Structure 1
Amino acid sequence: MTSSSLSYPEPDSDGKGPNSGELMTASAALERVAQRFDAAGGLGLMVIDGSFIDAIERKNGHEARRDALNALGRLVQQVAADKLHECDLVMTAEAGRNEIWVAFLNWVDDASILRHEIPSFEKALAQLIHKNAGKAFYPHLRRAPKVEMGFEVCFRNPRFSAETQLYRAVEQAREDVQHNIAQRARERRRRFQEIVLDRNVYSVYEPIVEVDTHVVFAYESLVRGPENSEFHSPIHLFGAADEYDMVFELDCQSRASGLRGAVDFPKGTKLFLNILPTAFHDPNFRAERLIETLAKCQLLPTDVVFEISEQESIENFSVFKESRDYYRSLGFQFALDDTGSGYAGLEALLEISPDFIKMDRAFVSGVDEDFARQDLLSALLTVAEKMGAKVIGEGLDRPEELEMLSKLGIHYGQGWLFGHPTPLRPRE
């Protein structure tokens, strides 16, 4: 089988041929498909949904949309050349739709098309997209897009025109796409709910080091979902929690996990514990219960720093500051994370008045080679010292960056230069 026999029109059909780099359009292929449909008595039609291309066009224009659709078409062709018959056909949908259609025209009057051909084609295409998306859709996408497929089997009914039946088959296949999207979304939601119900999260700890002495000053607790799952990354974990309105519950579990993993915590070091502003509404976060939990870990309030991201919205700073002052009176400290990464940075910095200011890695990475970054960190250090706060540079990867932080007078550093986040003890 060859991809050209699967994918391209005759040279005189619409001016495109095997060297054009573009697929046959559905309108150009209609007569050919209808003839085969009449002769065989049936066909299978797959719709490959390229909705992700909509965002590419909105951001980068119609030429980027064309390139992305052609790239998707080439991936489909590549699978078709290996999996389909010579009479089968790959084509683009009508104008304005980011879809690829595959007509299975090698009609055999049994269910093998549903049992074998379709599942084999879908699996191979999904694997190819996952493997090659970074290259195929460069520079528009950084990761493999979600590409859904729908399918319809259509038996020829002479009461209707072949064209009418074909377009009905397309609509049915599109409905199948939407059904598959909804089904996968339900399954994903259930998987996430199981994680939350089972409290199946754990914590790893990243060292925060004194810049001048290289002594570990603290550890930041970072939550992780189940290993080898789609929710392992905290970005995906909290992204799903936000999507399913379960952020509060996940935040509670993350704090609990951070404390569980801190049993036998190294003496003389601080524990940075990420919290959301809503944490103050958690019954387990009330002072008496929290201090009781800390005691089980042999920790005191003075050992704990509550870390709040600049990117988190604090709806009422007055209420927040009341809670902050109360917990400070007990010995807890506060850190502002991701400083400089959001729009509300200066307001959050002034209103929260943190004990530690963590500069986002965007301002630390390459600081040894960038005078602007050096000036910015120096200016922030001046502000921090007037506030009585210490500065932590995040995202350190190279010794040269650490050396520059030392020259600038930055107090602490954090990053993979000091090792990747790991559990403090073996997981049970």
Structure 2
Amino acid sequence: MRDTREVNDYLLESWLEFHDALREHPEIKRLLFDPVTGLPTTPLLFPRIESLLEERGEISLLCLSIVKYSKIEEIYGWKVFDDVMKEVAAALEGITGSELRDSDMVAELMISGNAFVVLLSPPRTSDQMQNENLLKLARRVEERVCLHLKSALDPAIFPKFGCYVGSSTVRHDPKIRLERIVHDALDRAMAQADSREANDAEERKARLQDIINNGAIRTLVHPILKLSDLSVLGYEALTRGPEGGEFERPDKLFKIAYDSDLVLKLERLCRHRALEVARDLPEGRLMFINIEPEAVADPELRDVMFSSLLAESDLSPSSIVLEITERTAITDFAAFRSTIEYLRTLGFSVAIDDAGAGYGSLQCLAEVRPEWLKIDISLVRGVDSDEVRAQLIESLVTFASRVGVRLVAEGIETMGELAKLRELNVEFGQGFLFTVPVAPFPADEDVRPQS
């Protein structure tokens, strides 16, 4: 083995040469450094790994995997996920000197990926790191990164991510290429992180099952107004999980339900509660009830739930609007359309949510031919200062007028947006400008533009 001074001199000389090459050829840097975090990628760790293996015989590493619980980039755009990765890099830098040592090296597994690698420097008091201590370190790093993300990210964004850390040890073997040894260790560390995610998923499923079994959900309502005079047309029933808990937000609640194959059970509970609330629906008002695409084929939806509950509550089907959400793609439009037509014969009307976003909303519009169409918040936000958004909404107004569909603009938050939507002849709307979702049913005088 080379002595330590010789190795360090060699690494320093190699790094200086490499730095010069990067300066002369920036295209190389783009291939080896992540453009979002500025961190090196795994190949740049190999010289250090090789020298440590020659010196110590083994080294330890951590792999940190960032998991998306919902379709973050599809909903919010790729910049939001980039911001999360920047915060993870900042968290790892922030724990350097405590959980991590100054001589530990942090890299990304690959460019624009969702995983980080930490090459741990050798223990100070022994030649090797004990596996028990390595696992403890992985848990501490995981906890610290999660705490940082919770404080740094928007409260609406943080629950959509998970952070899991796995660990492994690389042992020198002269019979096997270094790259294969390292990649095998990385695979083992990632598998450990994936295993922790799987265990976490099982625990989340159990907690969600408890919520469903105990009926521990709440139904709030969000008023829908006629924009010309701000009279209340009706209300959208909105489900929330236990207040202050991980399942409070509906996107997380339904994402875990889909992942855990509990969506029909959850949907039935939400539907049941919404119709219970609708028993006190003010006369002449409508109740919009969200329906997942998968739940449209639920036999209970067709044959049991509505017939019994509506009979008990004296509700007329004409006062209920079934609002089709687009959390998942509709794969069989023929069967979907058949069920929708059956529900129409019972007297219900149909709305399509999030027009302008989601999975094939235009195809859904053409196939379902709803009575109501909700304009997605992504088009409404800033419509008063964005000509493209205004033109898109104007085209929807023209379309709705020609085919007899009523439009509802979602997510109105400013007086400027309200004024522009009125100018574009959008008939109905809802949003935080008027009120946040509240317990049913607010007094009309409380549903007014807020200062």
Please classify the TM superposition score into its range, dividing by the shorter chain length.
0.7 to 0.9
Structure 2 length normalisation: TM-score?
Answer: 0.69
Secondary structure at 2:96's aligned position in 1? helix
Secondary structure at 1:80's aligned position in 2? coil
Question: Which residue number corresponds to residue 181 of structure 1?
Answer: 194
Structure 1 length normalisation: TM-score?
Answer: 0.72
Cα deviation digits, residues 286-337 of structure 1 (max 9, x gap):
3564132134445221211111136754455554444434333332211121
Cα distance in 1, alignment partners of residues 234 and 109 from structure 2: 59
- Which residues in structure 2 correspond to 1:176-255 (within 5 Å)? 176-196=189-209, 198-199=211-212, 200-255=216-271
Cα deviation digits, residues 204-248 of structure 1 (max 9, x gap):
211101112212211111222333444332222222333333333
Residues 256 and 22 from structure 1, CA distance in 2 versus in 1: closer, same or farther, beyond 3 angstroms? closer
Secondary structure at 1:424's aligned position in 2? coil
* 2:105 aligned with 1:105: no
CA contact (8 A) 1:335 1:356 kept: yes
Cα distance in 2, alignment partners of residues 222 and 95 from structure 1: 40
Cα distance in 1, alignment partners of residues 387 and 135 from structure 2: 63
Residues 51 and 168 from structure 1, CA distance in 2 versus in 1: closer, same or farther, beyond 3 angstroms? farther
Q: Mean Cα displacement is larger for which, 194-203 or 125-134?
A: 125-134
Question: Which residue number corresponds to residue 366 of structure 2?
Answer: 350
Residues 388 and 45 from structure 1, CA distance in 2 versus in 1: closer, same or farther, beyond 3 angstroms? same
* 2:274 aligned with 1:273: no
Counterpart amino acid of residue 262 in structure 2? M
Cα distance in 1, alignment partners of residues 259 and 233 from structure 2: 36
* Structure 1: gaps of 5 or more residues: 1-7, 53-66, 135-140
Question: Which residue number corresponds to residue 61 of structure 1?
Answer: none
Cα distance in 2, alignment partners of residues 117 and 238 from structure 1: 33
* 2:63 aligned with 1:48: yes
Residues 390 and 165 from structure 1, CA distance in 2 versus in 1: closer, same or farther, beyond 3 angstroms? closer
Secondary structure at 2:282's aligned position in 1? coil
Secondary structure at 1:395's aligned position in 2? coil
Cα distance in 2, alignment partners of residues 177 and 398 from structure 1: 46
> Could you tell me how far 1:110 is from its partner in structure 2?
10
Identity %: 25
* 2:417 aligned with 1:401: yes
CA contact (8 A) 2:233 2:286 kept: yes
Counterpart amino acid of residue 398 in structure 2? T
Secondary structure at 1:418's aligned position in 2? coil
* 2:143 aligned with 1:123: yes
CA contact (8 A) 2:52 2:59 kept: no
Cα distance in 2, alignment partners of residues 417 and 9 from structure 1: 64
Cα distance in 1, alignment partners of residues 390 and 199 from structure 2: 48
**Matched pairs, number:** 390
CA contact (8 A) 1:221 1:271 kept: yes
Question: Which residue number corresponds to residue 14 of structure 1?
Answer: 15
Cα distance in 1, alignment partners of residues 294 and 85 from structure 2: 43
Counterpart amino acid of residue 27 in structure 1? F
* Structure 2: gaps of 5 or more residues: 1-8, 24-37, 68-82, 443-451
Question: Which residue number corresponds to residue 27 of structure 1?
Answer: 46
Residues 341 and 203 from structure 1, CA distance in 2 versus in 1: closer, same or farther, beyond 3 angstroms? same
Cα deviation digits, residues 107-147 of structure 1 (max 9, x gap):
3599784696554444334434555589xxxxxx9999654
Residues 310 and 381 from structure 1, CA distance in 2 versus in 1: closer, same or farther, beyond 3 angstroms? farther
Cα deviation digits, residues 75-100 of structure 1 (max 9, x gap):
434322234567x5335599999622
Residues 83 and 213 from structure 1, CA distance in 2 versus in 1: closer, same or farther, beyond 3 angstroms? same
CA contact (8 A) 1:225 1:231 kept: yes
